[in-house]
Chain A
Amino acid sequence: MLNYIWLFLIVIALIVGAGKDINDEVNNTYRNEIPLEVIFIPSSLPSGTVTRTEGEFCITAEQFNTYYGITLQQDEIKQKAELALSGGNMGNFIISCSETAPVMWQQMAKSISGKDKLAGKIEKIEFAEDNNSAKAVIIMEPVRFVKLRAITQAAIDFANIAVEIAIGLIGVMALWLGLIKVAEEAGLVKILTRLLAPVTKRLFPDVPSDHPAIGAIIMNTAANMLGLSNAATPIGLKAMEELNKLNPKIGTASNAMVTFLAINTGGLILIPATAMAVRAAVGSANIGVIIGTSIFAAGCATVTGIAASKLLQRLPIYKRDLIAGKNKSEEGKK
């Protein structure tokens, strides 16, 4: 099933991305090659023949909305621009989009330069008598394939993020694996597993209740509930490694593994710390109001996950994978 979902994500992404780009091209969403009239206000008064100057491009919200055929822009637009003029009334410009720039321009700038720079040609510029302002007709650098460019960038970025995450795990992994090894040798894990044996026997009937896997599962769940994600992942991976030692078919998920992941992805938590931090940051009057609702919802998710894992493992299509595995490993032994 992971195969299908994985492929679904990729294919849908490519189809939607290409579709949006074609749509942009047909409607000319970014108004490629269509001139736009703006008022230029130089920051210092130019004298004589102007070649280089800095100032602001100003457009009223109404004019901007009509030009792009949208209704989003509310305020008058004023953005810093650098001009390089040749022959008096022609030239090029670069706009540096600040945070107040229209969303449309910010997206265009990001797509073209990856930063905040928007470039283009000045078709015509006429300074007023006193050089205080100028009427200019500009054409932006054409913007095409915004989504496909973004997809390319995301593919590369996320591949890098994946490696960064894995490398970042090495340290905490080593720390927790070391500590757990000491706890195992000292017999601490055995005490823990014996305490919770009545529960774990039912959840993981295939795993001996004093197996180190059970100890790791208990510690992982406890760490998750306390929101200690730095400790939870390494201990969880330790649990997977121990469960894999009991796995009848290497390379295929065992029943116990799926039940364990159901508990893990259910996200049982005592203090919803992340959401509470965000609530505090955006000025909530009562950040703790979600504690009860979160515990309830995560509890429902976890119970459903465990029940689903127990029910689905009996389905013939999922049973077959394991039995085929057993036969193979037996044949291997012969």
Chain B
Amino acid sequence: MTDLFRTIISYISILAIPLMIAVFLIWGFLKKVKVYEVFVEGAKDGFNTAIRIIPYLVAMLFAIGIFRASGAMDVLTAVIAPVTNLIGMPPETLPMALMRPLSGSGSLGIMTELMKTHGPDSFIGVLVSTLYQSSETTFYILAVYFGSVSIKNTRHAVPVGLLADLAGMLAAVFICRILFGI
């Protein structure tokens, strides 16, 4: 059942982009849109948008970078671990949950390491895989998306993002404990 689902979705993923290109351009041509000219017109903005992100991305990534390099994650983990122990979350997986909103490559590294040590099919292995996929790199997305339209006052975006991450973490622990519980 899951295999069939997986096969179907992976086919869709592979076909999606060629299909979109074909449909957009052919449909446009049939609707008498000057496809080449319109494409170039739209593409012009690509450069400016990408360049506009740079200061926001530098500010965000440098802070996350020095946070990772300083080893502050160990300290933060030690502080929070007593709380997460209460909901039955193994302390080994806490750095993963804390790193996820900050850094994609950082959390990928932690996930790989934990699966190598504890085995991918162990409770910890399944939990870190789920934790990794239960959320996105919130701070990176905030920097890139808001940066692209020069927004400095993010209002409630950060608390919303963090609440969503927290919910994802709790849901991951909950579902993994029920299905693969110890």
Contact = CB atoms under 8 A, between A and B. Distances in A.
A229 B128 CA distance: 21
Contacts of A1: 154, 156, 158-159
Contacts of A155: 62, 65-66
A245 to B, nearest CB: 9
A188 interface: yes
B153 A253 contact: yes
Contacts of B168: 266-267, 297-298, 300-301, 304
Given A271-B10, A309-B156, A312-B156, A179 B20 contact: yes
A5 to B, nearest CB: 6
Q: Is the interface of A mostly helix, strand, loop or mixed?
A: helix
A266 B42 CA distance: 29
A308 interface: yes
Chain A CB within 10 Å, residue with most, of B35, B152, B153, B164: B164
B87 interface: no
A223 to B, nearest CB: 8
B125 interface: yes
A170 B42 CA distance: 13
Chain A CB within 10 Å, residue with most, of B2, B53, B152: B53
Contacts of A241: 45, 49, 148-149
A287 B2 CA distance: 11
B120 A293 contact: no
A151 B62 CA distance: 10
Interface string A256-296: 01100110111101111111101101111111111111101
A305 B16 CA distance: 27
A163 B133 contact: no
Contact of A181 (B39, B66, B165): B39
B72 interface: yes
Interface residues of B, number: 109
Contacts of B154: 1-2, 253, 258
B156 A313 contact: yes
B93 interface: no
B134 A267 contact: yes
Nearest to B15: A226
A48 to B, nearest CB: 48
A205 interface: no
A196 interface: no
A82 B51 CA distance: 48
Contacts of B126: 289-290, 293
Contact of B70 (A147, A180, A278, A293): A147
Contact of B17 (A153, A228, A270, A285): A228
Contacts of A14: 66, 70
Interface in B121-176: 121, 125-126, 129-139, 141-142, 144-146, 148-161, 163-172, 175-176
27 contacts: A9-B102, A150-B70, A155-B66, A161-B61, A165-B61, A174-B46, A177-B44, A178-B39, A178-B42, A182-B33, A182-B35, A182-B39, A183-B24, A186-B24, A186-B28, A186-B30, A240-B146, A253-B155, A264-B136, A272-B132, A279-B115, A286-B121, A293-B172, A304-B167, A305-B163, A308-B156, A309-B156
Interface of A: 1-2, 5-6, 9-10, 12-17, 20, 147, 150-151, 153-155, 157-159, 161-163, 165-167, 169-175, 177-183, 185-188, 223, 226-228, 231, 233-234, 236-237, 240-241, 243-244, 247, 250-253, 257-258, 261-262, 264-267, 269-276, 278-279, 281-294, 296-305, 308-309, 312-313, 315, 318, 321-322
